[in-house]
Chain A
């Protein structure tokens, strides 16, 4: 995916008024490429800079996670989306992997690296608080155990 993918493109405003997460999964990335929705299970999404800009809608992060995506890799993320993704347990990897579409990606965010086609790239580690939240599987689980 290109740069500046806004959260309207991830999940359009017309699908937000529901608690039924399957609706978001069915329509994720519809306005970018309607064929993507069924192909995200087990995938690592590779995108350009500033992924997740725009609206604070957390449904965007939930839709990607529940569609089965393992992680999103981009050179940078918009800050609200970054918090939202970690809070719902979706790993984000700050790295430019453009041009590696179709390759196998492995990563370890605790150690701070991502590997593709035999090359290992360093990744800026998450803050201690965010690592804790992600390790718990998201902020809801974090507070279930810490609340």
Chain B
């Protein structure tokens, strides 16, 4: 009997296998090196451009002429080689791939560590570096070590002001930053079935912060319904009676709003212990929490009021932005005093927009709070959307109210 990783990779845990990948993607950050490596390999061929994507999401629009020139080269290559190309404004690679592209049972490889996000669909999705990706462009396949799996068994439902992000930070804290190195996380149990797709994406997104190779949900009725709305007919994946090297139980009713304090994602405190900490910036967005449901939840809390600190909201994709415009969520955000950025990764990695100055403190809905990540001398606290919204209104860390 197999884990989901074993089933999709068609091998036993510990085994090395060469597998064709169903989808592979790079972004403007990793694509330049990928192209350089691909050329250096002497490769004049692309194995199958139809399953290769290039997204411009990390520095969008370009911040200076050096970046612009690099993007120009990559854009020309993408268009000339018939790779699927998403230019600035299209959105974050993982988000766009989640909007009806990735399907259950697929093997998905991205040149970005948060590719694990797409395990939410019952796909095996993992990050690689640029040179691995160049070889995938050339051959259409790569090697994998089939991972052992940890069962994250969920029961009950979230209560009060707790969100999936609070559960995500809580499991990262329980496992530690290398607690799942080389392994896969499988979210299982009756509690998993009740979790909506957006929240599954958030939970799988943080898997890499435990060192995991993948974070996965079994495709179920939620998956089938979500993908049906995007025009796909897919089957559920019935879990088999398999062997996990470890199982960890989480009672969702016991999850409370938490914050990961700098500079480690696995160091969390209840929000109640940090209330009153002054903020210089609030950032809502990223592949963790930049989806429409996140923006709508943030808007519901700040609507009709004014944020007390500079607040940057970056929709994760054009589809998210369009929906926020249609429903009035965007107007609510702007009226509350938020700044809106081009869909993309925005300030998360400190290369462009929303960069922090020395001594500044940011409360962010992203996934990493490493030293200097958003700017030299800046500090990053990670929270849920509800905690970010409550805190934006006060200009200091504030407990979210139960909605």
Q: Which residues of A contact B (CB under 8 A)?
A: 4, 6, 8-9, 12-14, 16-19, 31, 49-50, 53-59, 61, 76, 78-80, 83-84, 87-88, 127-129, 138-140, 143-144, 147
Is B350 an interface residue when CB atoms closer than 8 A count as contact? yes
The answer to whether B41 touches A140 (Cβ under 8 A) is: yes
The answer to whether B351 touches A14 (Cβ under 8 A) is: yes
The answer to whether B128 touches A50 (Cβ under 8 A) is: no
What would 28 A/B residue contacts be, using CB atoms closer than 8 Å?
A: A4-B177, A6-B368, A8-B368, A8-B370, A8-B373, A9-B371, A13-B349, A14-B376, A16-B351, A18-B66, A19-B32, A19-B70, A31-B371, A50-B181, A50-B211, A54-B368, A55-B113, A56-B112, A56-B113, A61-B129, A79-B182, A79-B213, A80-B127, A83-B132, A87-B131, A139-B134, A140-B134, A147-B41
The answer to whether A144 touches B178 (Cβ under 8 A) is: no
Cβ of B100 to closest chain A Cβ, rounded Å: 25
Cβ of A51 to closest chain B Cβ, rounded Å: 10
The answer to whether A143 touches B181 (Cβ under 8 A) is: no
The answer to whether A79 touches B41 (Cβ under 8 A) is: no
CA distance A97 to B349 in the complex (A): 32
Q: Which residues of A contact B30 (CB under 8 A)?
A: 56-58
Q: 0/1 per residue, B1-37, Cβ < 8 Å to A?
A: 0000000000000001000000000000110110011
Is B135 an interface residue when CB atoms closer than 8 A count as contact? yes
Cβ of B323 to closest chain A Cβ, rounded Å: 29
Cβ of B236 to closest chain A Cβ, rounded Å: 29
Cβ of B159 to closest chain A Cβ, rounded Å: 32
Listed from nearest, the 10 A-B pairs whose CB atoms lie closest are A50-B178, A84-B129, A58-B129, A87-B131, A143-B41, A13-B349, A56-B113, A8-B370, A58-B130, A13-B351
From the candidates A16, A18, A49, A139, name the one contacting B131 in the complex (CB within 8 A): A139
Q: Knowing A8-B370, A17-B67 touch, does A143 contact B138 (C-beta < 8 A)?
A: yes
The answer to whether B70 touches A147 (Cβ under 8 A) is: no
Q: Which residues of A contact B70 (CB under 8 A)?
A: 17-19
Q: Which residues of A contact B181 (CB under 8 A)?
A: 50, 76, 78-79
CA distance A105 to B129 in the complex (A): 28
CA distance A137 to B32 in the complex (A): 21
Q: Which residues of A contact B178 (CB under 8 A)?
A: 4, 49-50, 53, 76, 78
Q: Knowing A79-B213, A147-B138 touch, does A17 contact B59 (C-beta < 8 A)?
A: yes
Q: Knowing A144-B42, A147-B43 touch, does A4 contact B264 (C-beta < 8 A)?
A: yes
CA distance A88 to B211 in the complex (A): 21
CA distance A57 to B351 in the complex (A): 13
Is B77 an interface residue when CB atoms closer than 8 A count as contact? no
Within 8 A of A (CB), among B368-388: 368, 370-373, 376
Q: Knowing A50-B178, A147-B42 touch, does A16 contact B29 (C-beta < 8 A)?
A: yes
From the candidates B132, B368, B371, name the one contacting A139 in the complex (CB within 8 A): B132
The answer to whether B129 touches A83 (Cβ under 8 A) is: yes
Interface size on B, residues (CB 8 A): 45
Is B40 an interface residue when CB atoms closer than 8 A count as contact? yes
Q: Which residues of B contact A50 (CB under 8 A)?
A: 177-178, 181, 211
> What residue of chain A has the Cβ atom nearest to residue B266's Cβ?
A4
Q: Which residues of A contact B132 (CB under 8 A)?
A: 83-84, 87, 139
Q: Told that A31-B371, A56-B30 touch, could you supply 10 new A-B pairs with CB distance under 8 A?
A: A16-B29, A19-B33, A19-B36, A53-B177, A55-B113, A55-B368, A56-B111, A78-B181, A129-B143, A138-B131
The answer to whether B66 touches A8 (Cβ under 8 A) is: no
CA distance A49 to B350 in the complex (A): 26
Q: Which residues of B contact A31 (CB under 8 A)?
A: 371-372, 376
Within 8 A of A (CB), among B80-123: 111-113
Is B145 an interface residue when CB atoms closer than 8 A count as contact? yes
Cβ of B350 to closest chain A Cβ, rounded Å: 5
Q: Which residues of A contact B66 (CB under 8 A)?
A: 17-18
From the candidates B67, B130, B138, B370, name the one contacting A9 in the complex (CB within 8 A): B370
The answer to whether B113 touches A14 (Cβ under 8 A) is: no
Cβ of A29 to closest chain B Cβ, rounded Å: 12
From the candidates A17, A49, A80, name the one contacting B129 in the complex (CB within 8 A): A80
CA distance A9 to B371 in the complex (A): 7
Q: Which residues of B contact A16 (CB under 8 A)?
A: 29, 351
Interface centre among A13, A19, A31, A53 (most CB of B within 10 A): A13
From the candidates B67, B131, B373, name the one contacting A140 in the complex (CB within 8 A): B131
Q: Knowing A88-B131, A138-B131 touch, does A58 contact B33 (C-beta < 8 A)?
A: yes
Q: Knowing A56-B128, A58-B30, A78-B211 touch, does A14 contact B350 (C-beta < 8 A)?
A: yes
CA distance A97 to B36 in the complex (A): 35
CA distance A80 to B59 in the complex (A): 22
CA distance A61 to B130 in the complex (A): 11
CA distance A64 to B167 in the complex (A): 36
Cβ of B43 to closest chain A Cβ, rounded Å: 6
> What residue of chain A has the Cβ atom nearest to residue B263's Cβ?
A6
